[in-house]
Chains A and B, each alone.
Chain A
């Protein structure tokens, strides 16, 4: 009995670490580009993906991946044409969530535990899920690693990137693809509403400890993974929901970081 308990807790923790590691460097780019709502918009689209997957009897992973991708691509396509990015993301984010909830309610004869997708159900992660999560996480980390310099240059300035022979739109597309993959693999672990938190909070917390972008990504990854482990332990001991517990730990890390920054500035 104890062995079984250990096993699902370990699986859940490993899943959380996988998502956190992939989300952290991606979250840094989202923070640097001031696109915090980008994660929300993509994640909210995933609810619509869940509904469509159930309606057409597809795998949920595939449905969320396709919808997250569609959302990310429309954001990329619509941006930079006279609309402010924050407005565009706000509109798409809330519309996608609303459309997803409506679509779920229209499904006949399907009993769907919506809260499992909204808040995640990390304790239900199986071996196959774990493989998908780590596969997706490694894919995203590899993609970001391989294109790090180009992504960073395009983030600094589209013009500088162009002058150096880098296509900033292609780099944005790569970031967008990576985000869609993270959302698709993370939906089961932390859920739609908390994916954006796991993207943004570790990155924001890492800022005041870092002097280079690489350091910030590594520190963010450590904070994210640490939050996953500590959050799981707390969730187990206090019988709190796992996803929100992880995010709460990350939020405490952000608080500590903000405090450290204040102290440093005062000194």
Chain B
């Protein structure tokens, strides 16, 4: 049972080839992370998945009636636009109070409803975007570099929350990230993209693949070591302090 599929997709922007022959597939309740250097077509792949772009060649298929929740890479809300968090959730369609509160709580933004969007910190803003993506109780949650601009504990907390959301809602997750070491811990499958799919598989497999090492060079070793460290640390941490909320209160 596949939720969405890309078949031999080519993508060009103004004569510049961005993706060549990309095959991609996402199954229910799976967390897939796409890694790759800048300009490797990661965001384009996500935009093809949500239908914001049409492929130059190849096919994009989505399961009929598929509910997608999308967290964009960056959303600049102009300070000239007065907008409370609660009203932001009401766009484009009014949301019942109970549904909005549930999504905000699930995303860890339960107390932010009355705040102005322009006044939120980076982490709060990301959690509100996540809450918005959860409103439709999506089958597929798509996140484009959701932790850009967050510090490392902030990113780790955010990815833990994504894993919780997946466990509660049973939705599939596709996300793009630069933070290989942090993301890998939370992923079932990693796809390394550089215009084409370089390698794919379990996080450990990909991390040791020669294609991946070639792409990320020597820096990877350090990042990987850090990943292993964080991974182990994360488990201990969860056992010691099951209440992750206490961290966010400090923000």
Residues on A lying within 8 angstroms of B by beta carbon are 31-34, 82, 149-150, 152-153, 155-164, 166, 204, 207, 210-213, 215-216
Stretch at the interface among B81-89, B96-104, B145-153, B215-223: B81-89
In contact, A155 and B81 (Cβ under 8 angstroms): yes
Q: When A161-B92, A164-B92 are in contact, do A213 and B50 touch as well, CB less than 8 Å? A: no
A-side interface mostly: helix
Q: Which residues of B contact A (CB under 8 A)?
A: 14, 47, 50-52, 68, 70, 72, 75, 77-78, 80-84, 87-88, 91-93, 116, 132
* Whole-angstrom CA separation of A155 from B78 in the bound complex: 10
Check B50–A149 contact: CB distance below 8 A. Answer: no
A207 contacts B75, CB within 8 Å?
Answer: no
Nearest-Cβ distance from residue A70 to partner chain B, whole angstroms = 26
User: Separation in Å of the A215 CB from the closest CB of chain B?
Assistant: 7
Q: Most chain-A Cβ atoms within 10 A of its Cβ — which of B14, B50, B68, B83?
A: B83
CB proximity of A254 to chain B, nearest CB, Å: 13
B82, chain A: closest CB distance, angstroms:
4
Contacts of B50 in A (CB 8 A): 159, 162-163
Cβ–Cβ contact B51 & A32, under 8 A: no
Select which of A150, A159, A212 is within 8 A of B72 by beta carbon.
A159
Taking a contact as CB atoms closer than 8 A, the residue among A82, A159, A210, A213 that contacts B52 in the complex is A159
User: Distance in Å from the Cβ of A90 to the closest Cβ of chain B?
Assistant: 20
Task: Point out the residues of chain B lying under 8 angstroms from A155, CB to CB.
Answer: 81
The residue that A32 contacts in the complex, of B14, B75, B80, B116, with Cβ under 8 A, is B80
- CB pair A153 B80 closer than 8 Å: no
Are B92 and A213 in touch, CB under 8 angstroms?
Answer: no
Inter-chain residue pair count (beta carbon < 8 A):
65
Contacts of B116 in A (CB 8 A): 211
Q: How far is the CA of A207 from the CA of B78 in the complex (A)?
A: 11
Contacts A152-B91, A207-B80 supplied; 12 other A-B pairs, CB < 8 Å: A33-B78, A150-B92, A153-B91, A156-B81, A157-B72, A159-B52, A159-B70, A162-B51, A163-B50, A204-B80, A210-B82, A212-B82
Contacts A159-B72, A207-B80, A215-B82 hold; do A149 and B91 have CB atoms under 8 A apart?
A: yes
A208 to B116 alpha-carbon distance, docked (Å): 12
Q: Which of A163, A166, A216 contacts B82 (CB 8 A)?
A: A216
Q: Considering only CB atoms, which chain B residue lies closest to A209 in the complex?
A: B82
Is the beta-carbon distance between B75 and A160 smaller than 8 angstroms? Answer: yes
B92 & A166 in contact (Cβ 8 Å cutoff): yes
Tell me, in angstroms, the Cα distance from A24 to B220 when the chains sit together.
54
Interfacial chain B residues near A31, Cβ < 8 Å? 80
- Distance in Å from the Cβ of B74 to the closest Cβ of chain A? 9
CB contact under 8 A between A163 and B83, given known A149-B92, A211-B116: no
Residues in A whose Cβ lies below 8 Å from that of B75: 156-157, 160
Contact A213 B87 (CB under 8 A): yes
Give, as a whole number of angstroms, the nearest-CB distance from A24 to chain B. Answer: 14
- Give 24 CB contacts A-B under 8 Å: A32-B80, A33-B78, A82-B14, A149-B92, A149-B93, A150-B92, A156-B81, A156-B88, A156-B91, A159-B70, A160-B70, A160-B91, A162-B50, A162-B51, A162-B52, A163-B50, A163-B68, A163-B70, A164-B93, A207-B80, A210-B82, A211-B84, A213-B83, A215-B82
- Give the CA-CA distance A40 to B124 in the complex, in Å: 37
Query: What is the chain A residue whose CB lies nearest that of B136?
Result: A164
Q: How far is the CA of A115 from the CA of B75 in the complex (A)?
A: 43
Q: Residue of A at shortest CB range from B132?
A: A160
Q: Are A32 and B47 in contact (CB under 8 A)?
A: no
Task: For residue B163, give the distance in angstroms from its CB to the closest CB of chain A.
Answer: 22
Say yes or no: A32-B72 contact (C-beta < 8 A), given A211-B84, A212-B84, A213-B87: no
